[in-house]
Chain A
Amino acid sequence: MSRAGTVNAALLAVLIGGAIAAHLAGELFVVTLATKAAIFALAGVGLNFALGYGGLISFGHAAFFGLGGYVTGILASHAMSGEPLTTLPYTMNGTNEMLAIWPMAMLVCGLAALAIGALSLRTSGVYFIMVTLAFAQMIYWFAVGWPRYGGEDGLSFYVRNVFPGVNSMQPLTWFAICTGLLLLALVFTATVMRARFGLALQAARRNPQRTVAVGIRPFGIRLTAFVLSAMITGLAGSLYADLNRFVSPAMLNWHMSGEIMVFVILGGVGRLTGPVAGAMLFVAMEHLLGGVSEYWPALLGLVLLGIVLFAPGGIVGILTGGRRRV
């Protein structure tokens, strides 16, 4: 196994092994922390798809994280109240089946990303960063101002949605569901990045002119990557809503976009398991530093600053000793 492969396997082993050990030791809270890390990692895998491999620095992925969350919350709250979502053109009811909610969340995020991406990809560089940020803020303000689903206060739905055959309220089962999706997303990313599409995407990042010269138009490839990236992050948002059984505009806020970016960069941009390492470190720091000082974000800021200035390859970059891949 290559060194990168060993690091990938080791990181996943730490996450999964840690959760199982915590379960056996009866530390259910730690299992939930591991679940949170797996969900954040999934959000990061989504962003890494566009940012790491495609070079599309989206500062607006909270939009998709939050939309996935809101789709989940809205469907679940309608399932609970029994009130149909809409009666036109035909009656559509809410649902509490995760297997129905996930595709719905991903569909909504994909459509949103199609619109946002088609507009944002007209720009590049710093404009792209700011435009994606601004679109996310637009959705954020919409959620804050729209009273139907809680507005600023958010939306609670008391019972976690159901997965056929298992009890999703049981912490280790829920961890297994989230981690299973994370593994699927990792396999998907690895497969796609070795396929023609992924190679073209990475080529367009490294040298757009040459990519165009060999007859590949970057726009469609980038837009596809942006949409797929948003769908993965949206799925993570759906899981995060189920984790907390609560969605609020905070999931859409630009701080969330920054945090998803932090998972990716802390771990290592363009590395397959970079977001996993980053999300694990983030959740661990949030928990440990949060116990040390209520001003823990300042400490997080210092760590981040150190990584950006002195270890631009992130954790996976340090572990594999390889150069940065952007």
Chain B
Amino acid sequence: MLIFEQFLNGLQYGMTLFLMAAGLTLVFGVMGLINLAHGSLYMIGAFACAAVAQATGSFWLGVGASLAAAAAAGALIELAVIRRLYHRDHLDQVLATFALILIASEGTRWVFGSFPLYLSLPPSLSGTVSLGGLVYPSFRLAVIGLGLAIAVFLFWLMRGTRLGIRIRAGEADREMIGALGVDIRSLYTVVFALGAGLAGLAGALVGAVQSVQVGMGEPVLILAFVVIVIGGIGSIGGALAGALLVGMTDTLGRALLPAALATIMPQASATAVAASLASMLVYILMAAVLVWRPTGLFGVRG
């Protein structure tokens, strides 16, 4: 039963990572851009949700605001900065987006202060659900459901719509689809805003259970990188698989390692070793995947 609960926790964690990683992998796959500022968009989403929820009293409006604010911020920085970086090398992209993180973090600190904000969940989501003997928070189940819905939506968007065809065509050959009359610049803005909106949504969802504070995006950003490296950069399916793998590994590692290690060493040192080892586990997983397949599970390009 404990294992099943941890399994659900891992699933929920994986889903929030997927929301982050999907945008990151889309932006890299289509535009060839490494966006470190993705974590800032996550933070902006969380702050927008907290501010609007506090002002209006409605969590749902807050969630809507997180999507809108992060997508708008994404479109804005795409127009102002990111679009100048597409033809630059990765080094310039890393630096420029690192600079954007500094600006976004300090800007947010300036507006909201350094103290964390807390969100309260609406009554419909703050309860628990009984799953055959296991009592589980309904908000976490809702996150799992939402993550699955968005995964399905993204697959449909990429496979079944004209926009998705253009995005995939842009991934394959951007000069050619420009020559065929597709406005590649606005397509890029739309893709970037879409990724930003998903990151903002992830920020709101995580902010609702943890706290909303400056710098909250950074640990998630790095895990999202691990996810897309494992899954293969540019692949939505890879992002989903990688996110679930990372979410499960991390959650189950933290839950099970202490007990597992206690069987081979004294309790006190087992706890310490397990804590260190559990936080390293996802990186070990990544190293293992890369040794096996250097371009990730679903990756094709090097």
Contacts and interface: CB of A to CB of B under 8 A. Distances in A.
Interface of A: 51, 57, 59, 119, 122-127, 129-131, 133-135, 137-138, 141-142, 144-148, 254, 258, 261-262, 265, 269, 295-298, 300-302, 304-305, 308-309, 312, 326
Contacts of A298: 102-103, 105-107, 110
Interface in B260-302: 272, 275-276, 278-280, 283-284, 286-287, 290-291, 294-296, 302
Contact of B291 (A122, A126, A141, A302): A122
A130 B287 CA distance: 11
A300 B103 CA distance: 8
Contacts of B151: none
Contacts of A146: 272, 276
Contacts of B225: 130, 133-134
Given A129-B90, A145-B279, A312-B92, A262 B290 contact: no
A57 B284 contact: no
Contacts of B99: 300-302, 304-305, 308
A300 B94 contact: no
A262 B88 CA distance: 17
A155 B149 CA distance: 47
Interface in B72-112: 81, 84, 88-92, 94-96, 98-103, 105-107, 109-110
Contacts of A295: 106-107, 109-110
A92 to B, nearest CB: 21
B167 interface: no
12 contacts: A123-B295, A123-B302, A126-B233, A130-B34, A134-B226, A135-B287, A138-B284, A144-B279, A145-B272, A145-B275, A254-B222, A302-B103
Given A134-B225, A295-B109, A297-B102, A308 B96 contact: yes
Contact of B89 (A137, A145, A326): A326
B92 A308 contact: yes
Given A295-B107, A309-B96, 16 more contacts: A51-B91, A57-B91, A59-B94, A119-B287, A126-B28, A127-B290, A141-B283, A144-B279, A146-B272, A148-B272, A261-B94, A296-B106, A301-B98, A301-B106, A302-B103, A308-B95
Contacts of B171: none
B229 interface: yes
Nearest to A298: B106
Contacts of B294: 122-123, 127
Given A123-B295, A133-B222, A146-B272, A141 B90 contact: no
A131 B291 contact: no
Contacts of B89: 326
Contacts of A300: 99, 102
A119 B102 contact: no
Contacts of A147: 272
A258 B291 CA distance: 26
Interface in B92-146: 92, 94-96, 98-103, 105-107, 109-110
Interface residues of B, number: 46
Contact of B290 (A131, A148, A261): A131
Contacts of A122: 290-291, 294
Interface SS of B by simple majority: helix
A134 B219 CA distance: 11
A304 B101 CA distance: 11
Contacts of A148: 272
A122 B218 CA distance: 26
A301 B283 contact: no
Nearest to A297: B102
B13 to A, nearest CB: 16
B94 A301 contact: no
Interface hub of B28, B228, B280, B291 (most chain A Cβ within 10 A): B280
A309 B99 CA distance: 11
Nearest to B301: A125
Contacts of A119: 287, 290-291
B278 to A, nearest CB: 8
A301 B102 CA distance: 5
B283 to A, nearest CB: 4
Given A131-B286, A146-B272, A265-B91, A297 B233 contact: no
Contacts of B287: 119, 131, 135
Which 9 A-B residue pairings sit nearest by Cβ, starting from the closest? A301-B102, A298-B106, A138-B283, A145-B276, A141-B279, A304-B99, A301-B103, A301-B99, A295-B106
Q: Which of B89, B107, B291 has the most CB of A within 10 A?
A: B89
A316 to B, nearest CB: 16
A309 B88 CA distance: 9
B302 A125 contact: yes
A141 B291 CA distance: 22
Interface in B230-282: 233, 272, 275-276, 278-280
A309 B77 CA distance: 14
Contacts of A254: 218, 222
B24 to A, nearest CB: 10
Contacts of B106: 295-298, 301
Interface in B35-67: none
A305 B279 CA distance: 33
Contact of A304 (B91, B95, B107, B279): B95
A258 B294 CA distance: 24
Name the residue among A51, A148, A305 with the largest chain B CB count within 10 angstroms.
A305
A135 B91 contact: no
Given A145-B276, A305-B81, A131 B96 contact: no
